[in-house]
Structure 1
């Protein structure tokens, strides 16, 4: 990492982006009335987003290059502190107390939520350092684009509900789980089990708690929009080329992805498999126009699938394998293989980890963090392309990786498997 080279990358990328923004009459700003830069679409958007990635990575590397040893480690440790402060803001609905247009005093916020003014000021000013809220005048706070999102959109509430109830406590106990069980492949010997003092897997706990099931179903429906937008799934596989086929959505939750695929590909039939209670919830919200083509089937994904001799079948696993260790994934894949005949396919949509240092640093940070989340929850993991190939070979030597694609500007890839003689 060279200081001048990194600085030049920042300058060149900024000039390119500024020109594209000016050409499209778009402005970037932290203020709430301006757009999310990651969502910008215009004719030359690809060049804009490529430059945005380069600038962001160079800026990160500059921070690392210029940070002292103590500063760097304190900054890493304090990330969890900031997450806890964000939980305070979420739990006490601080974003909702701030007007979308204008500002409000810390004193007025304190009166609305029943907390001390000095405490509110400390919480808000901690978040201000991370771009969440801003202080236009002493003693007053207003929204940024980030904090306005917390106040107006539903997905943060769904996501935070799971993160703060289960996610963060599990992460804090990864080391305890490793001390107790070592590098266990078992899904009930993870940080989650230490944090919640249970010998049940997170899935067994959900199966016995309808409210938790509903919360998790909402999470899956919500995160589908930003972990793997439907357009990247549509472009990442030739669904239209399947013809008159059946797609079995394994552990497909409430059927949110099958519903979207069914709307785009009317020739396909969909079977959504999950716990019986989840299936009932999915049936209750299934639109009338899809009731002839999308149906729900209670099924444990570790149990053998049944062959369908009449139609081509595609077993679809989206964000499933990352929940499990290699040992457990082999059980899942072997259960699917039992239902495969020649010509059938397995389509997996997951994050594809880049080989270390080969892609965007910012993106790799996010994916490596997700990998640790999976370790904390179930001893699962995110995988690279090489790791997927190794896993498939472990599961069944007849199962081959036919193709791996990662659509542009997406963290999600599509892995296609076929059965060979």
Structure 2
């Protein structure tokens, strides 16, 4: 027998099966050691298992290394044909998941215990054959279990969908509205290959109206969408670290204007950390403003105000310490973003030259500068914006171009882009 070759083991440009396996072992050992040192539970497939600590920066770093190597190993051992075949059939699996949500499978299966597949079908109002087939497909993804023949029980994934209404809304709206719109990407782009905006995109092609009008016309789905957005904010809370830690908030004195701030969850979070700062939350959605105001605690009420204002209109607040716009620009086409940036100019002109405009959004990296799975995550959000709003996520250069179109005096002073949600620190030159 010949000896086992180690060629390419340490060559990242030409990974080998053995090299990737060794990297996986090393990363798995590092994660296990980190969990033990920090007295954190190891993930498991038991129903009592807790989510991994993705709010820990060091865990996120170790997780990224392990996942990158795991993905490359799978691609290498599958080869492109087998991988593409599986990837292209994912839509069928998502169809099974949508049925499970629409027919309330997650609620009908008891949290602890099991249910006969015939009883589940009866409760769901679906025939036994298709109920069983859908459950058995989902269990291959560890969604539900069949530990005894024809007895359905929960897995950790299905149990968290049952118990977390906001997460359930995230999954359900993604399949019910968004996946259907994504399926019409080719139709929409063929009809309009050179133009896109709020009223011209795949969502409109599929549903007949833009996303905001769609939810105005369907209150039930609007409520689900609102729950989904709250769920996403909770799931992505670890993305706030660049906003909180990247910028020196302690250097500011006065009032921060949170433009398009919704219910003000970010302003309230910053207000708790920086007691010397006051906040004005602006939004055009009166319901979101009312919700935020009602949820204010006594200690924050004097320092967090709410103002009805559209970010397309000239900024009325003067003498601000900073203006913040967070995860808003990605909802709009370039010409609309130019209008938004123009609207900040009166507020900046009537404030100190040291007053920044802080743009907190994904900053798309150049290809290959991030690990593939991390780059995929932010480019996936870019595709979400293409489908739903005819809009996009942008690179630093694209942001700079739009700022200059709005006003030549805009200058980007600092770029914080070493996280999935970046931050641009912009000033109006005097």
TM-score (normalizing by structure 1): 0.88
Contact 1:323 1:378 in 2 (8 A): yes
Matches of 1:291 and 1:213 in 2, distance apart? 28
Matches of 1:179 and 1:395 in 2, distance apart? 30
Q: Residue 78 of structure 1 corresponds to which residue in structure 2?
A: 89
Task: Determine which of 337, 340, 343 is the counterpart of 1:335.
Answer: 343
**Structure 1 SS opposite 2:379:** helix
Q: Residue 255 of structure 1 corresponds to which residue in structure 2?
A: 264
**Aligned ranges 1:203-242 → 2 under 5 Å:** 203-206=212-215, 214-229=223-238, 232=241, 233-242=243-252
Contact 1:230 1:260 in 2 (8 A): no
- CA-to-partner distance for each residue in 1:268-327, whole Å, 9 max, x for gaps? 22222222533344434444443322222222211111251xx33322111101112222
Matches of 1:260 and 1:19 in 2, distance apart? 32
- 1:415 is displaced (CA, Å) by 1.6
Task: Determine which of 305, 324, 327 is the counterpart of 2:332.
Answer: 324
**Aligned ranges 1:139-154 → 2 under 5 Å:** 139-154=150-165
Change (3 A) 1:314 1:72: same
Stretch moving more, 90-99 or 331-340: 90-99
Which ranges of structure 1 fall in alignment gaps of 5 or more residues?
Answer: none
- 1:373 is displaced (CA, Å) by 0.7
- 1:231 is displaced (CA, Å) by 5.1
- 1:381 is displaced (CA, Å) by 1.1
Contact 1:271 1:296 in 2 (8 A): yes
**Structure 2 SS opposite 1:300:** coil
Change (3 A) 1:210 1:92: closer
Q: Residue 27 of structure 1 corresponds to which residue in structure 2?
A: 42
Stretch moving more, 183-192 or 136-145: 136-145
Q: Residue 5 of structure 1 corresponds to which residue in structure 2?
A: 19
- 1:22 is displaced (CA, Å) by 4.4
Matches of 1:95 and 1:212 in 2, distance apart? 19
Change (3 A) 1:103 1:89: same
Stretch moving more, 328-337 or 82-91: 82-91
**Structure 1 SS opposite 2:41:** coil
Task: Determine which of 385, 403, 409 is the counterpart of 2:414.
Answer: 403
Contact 2:267 2:279 in 1 (8 A): yes
The answer to whether residue 315 in structure 2 is matched with residue 305 in structure 1 is yes
Aligned residues: 410
Contact 1:185 1:326 in 2 (8 A): no
Change (3 A) 1:392 1:417: same
- CA-to-partner distance for each residue in 1:396-418, whole Å, 9 max, x for gaps? 221111212246xx521222111
Matches of 2:60 and 2:267 in 1, distance apart? 29
**Structure 2 SS opposite 1:352:** coil
Contact 1:224 1:230 in 2 (8 A): no
Contact 1:321 1:329 in 2 (8 A): yes
**Aligned ranges 1:51-66 → 2 under 5 Å:** 51-66=62-77
Task: Determine which of 162, 181, 186 is the counterpart of 1:170.
Answer: 181
Change (3 A) 1:126 1:59: same
Q: Residue 293 of structure 2 corresponds to which residue in structure 1?
A: 283
Contact 2:293 2:306 in 1 (8 A): yes
Matches of 1:297 and 1:21 in 2, distance apart? 44
Which ranges of structure 2 fall in alignment gaps of 5 or more residues?
Answer: 1-14
**Aligned ranges 1:108-119 → 2 under 5 Å:** 108-119=119-130
**Structure 1 SS opposite 2:190:** helix
Change (3 A) 1:120 1:205: closer
Q: Residue 184 of structure 1 corresponds to which residue in structure 2?
A: 195
**Structure 2 SS opposite 1:304:** coil
**Structure 2 SS opposite 1:418:** strand
Stretch moving more, 187-196 or 4-13: 4-13
- 1:204 is displaced (CA, Å) by 4.6
- 1:213 is displaced (CA, Å) by 5.5
**Structure 2 SS opposite 1:141:** strand
**Structure 1 SS opposite 2:107:** helix
Q: Residue 168 of structure 2 corresponds to which residue in structure 1?
A: 157
**Structure 2 SS opposite 1:315:** strand
Matches of 2:109 and 2:225 in 1, distance apart? 29
- 1:355 is displaced (CA, Å) by 2.0
Q: Residue 99 of structure 2 corresponds to which residue in structure 1?
A: 88
**Structure 2 SS opposite 1:271:** strand
Matches of 1:193 and 1:405 in 2, distance apart? 34
